[in-house]
Structure 1
């Protein structure tokens, strides 16, 4: 019987930002595909709920703290002796303000989580996977990783940078058998997007519903939000052998916002 290339049986996957949203949805998708899943994030309680539901593992970790990231990967590696997949997903929306007025402490804080934190995870994954001679790294960029967007300079800068790092690491790690790709979700439904809409409505002085239609749903070919599970299924493609010849790639999951 030929093995199903969409399965992750026997593989261990780390998902940062795994307690909610895309991370939580992907944890379910990976577990359903047979993976042992480690969900990581700053708050242990939501992680433990996700882990209990999928038969996985919860490890508290603030990705902006390098020591905590090292501990996360060291603990995860003891579970099966390997780390086969990293979904580098932890991040935040950052400050919402014009460049001229943005709070630079908040701007730098966003970069420390979305970019520096991502790099801490990439360093550990690169070491472990290179030694194994195999692995799949998936960086969570954004549609804002290939096009600028008003009021979101910190988030845009961090997500553009992740695309460049993805292409760099794909070339560095390819000879070791490790693949590195990036996902670029558009507007994904959920609590995070609700918060962003509320903050934009306050900053722009107009209704959230108007901003939603004008910027997110009406401009999409499918005229709707992306569901977190849909991003999770795209992540499974990159995590599994369905994409065994693909590295240095970036994929939009955006309901057609082109």
Structure 2
């Protein structure tokens, strides 16, 4: 599936959001759309893409797996061909990865988590960076996690991938800064929605406790003792891409109600 809006205003700044058709990604895309940006999303879920386009017919959308390097090049080229520019890239795509004690994890599941969460961001960034360097400006935002700031028991693949995103962010901020391109990471806490419900269910099964106990633990890990909303992440993305954020780069910005720990009680 590949749809590029013909009604988009090419004078508007352009953003590409990976995994932007549902969940947090949709919240990010919606925030940019409401701020007047031309929005293009890619997603591996064709049904989610169709639903997104029904709600936002002026946006562009492409079915793509972020871990596929050729697909990443194709999507970025499609956006540049349609608009002649790319002002912001939000590397939002990610999967939870396998849950459990490290001795029970398998290499394939670990690798897949890295491929989507970390290599996927690299795949898109390498092509977006060329266009942004040529333009002398741009913003790249990597959606990491509060798991990129703490150790995260039973979630080793996810934590490793998200810590890798912080390293990528810091390094590319240094590399691209001289060209006017800023690179930041957003580190959300648990975001309300179906994805966190699935994580909670798997965590509960792995640890042999109830989903309610896992939920209470997650909520108690932040000072505000609450989950965040997709729109909270979207609003920060828009700010970092705007004139207000033009001197912010190399930062890992937590939107999490102030996480105190990701440790779990030992059974």
TM-score (norm 1): 0.94
1:45, distance to aligned residue in structure 2 (A): 2.4
Alignment correspondent of 1:5: none
> CA separation in 1, counterparts of 2:22 and 2:253?
22
Does the CA-based 8 Å contact 2:100-2:207 persist in structure 1? no
Does the CA-based 8 Å contact 1:44-1:58 persist in structure 2? no
Query: Cα–Cα, structure 1 residues 85 and 52, in superposed 2: closer, same or farther, change >3 Å?
Result: farther
> CA separation in 2, counterparts of 1:238 and 1:211?
33
Matched, 1:82 2:85: yes
Alignment correspondent of 1:203: 206
Q: Structure 2: 5+ residue runs without aligned partners?
A: 1-10, 261-267
> CA separation in 1, counterparts of 2:90 and 2:50?
18
1:234, distance to aligned residue in structure 2 (A): 1.3
1:240, distance to aligned residue in structure 2 (A): 1.2
Alignment correspondent of 2:4: none
Q: Per-residue displacement from partner, 1:21-55 (whole Å, max 9, x unpaired)?
A: 11000111000000010010112221232233232
> Equivalent residues in 2 for 1:137-148 (5 A)?
137-148=140-151
Matched, 1:99 2:102: yes
Alignment correspondent of 1:70: 73
Alignment correspondent of 1:39: 41
> Equivalent residues in 2 for 1:1-258 (5 A)?
10-54=12-56, 55-214=58-217, 216-258=218-260
Count of residues in correspondence between the two structures: 249
Does the CA-based 8 Å contact 2:145-2:162 persist in structure 1? yes
> CA separation in 1, counterparts of 2:158 and 2:49?
24
Does the CA-based 8 Å contact 1:184-1:252 persist in structure 2? yes
Does the CA-based 8 Å contact 1:39-1:51 persist in structure 2? no
SS of the aligned residue for 2:203 comes to: helix
SS of the aligned residue for 1:31 comes to: helix
CA root-mean-square deviation: 1.1
Q: Structure 1: 5+ residue runs without aligned partners?
A: 1-8
1:128, distance to aligned residue in structure 2 (A): 1.1
1:219, distance to aligned residue in structure 2 (A): 2.6
SS of the aligned residue for 1:113 comes to: helix
Q: Per-residue displacement from partner, 1:74-109 (whole Å, max 9, x unpaired)?
A: 001112100111000001000001111211111111
TM-score (norm 2): 0.91
> CA separation in 2, counterparts of 1:79 and 1:191?
33
Q: Per-residue displacement from partner, 1:123-152 (whole Å, max 9, x unpaired)?
A: 011111111111100001110111111111
SS of the aligned residue for 2:163 comes to: helix
Runs of 4+ in 1 over 4 A off after TM superposition: none
> CA separation in 2, counterparts of 1:234 and 1:77?
24
SS of the aligned residue for 1:90 comes to: coil
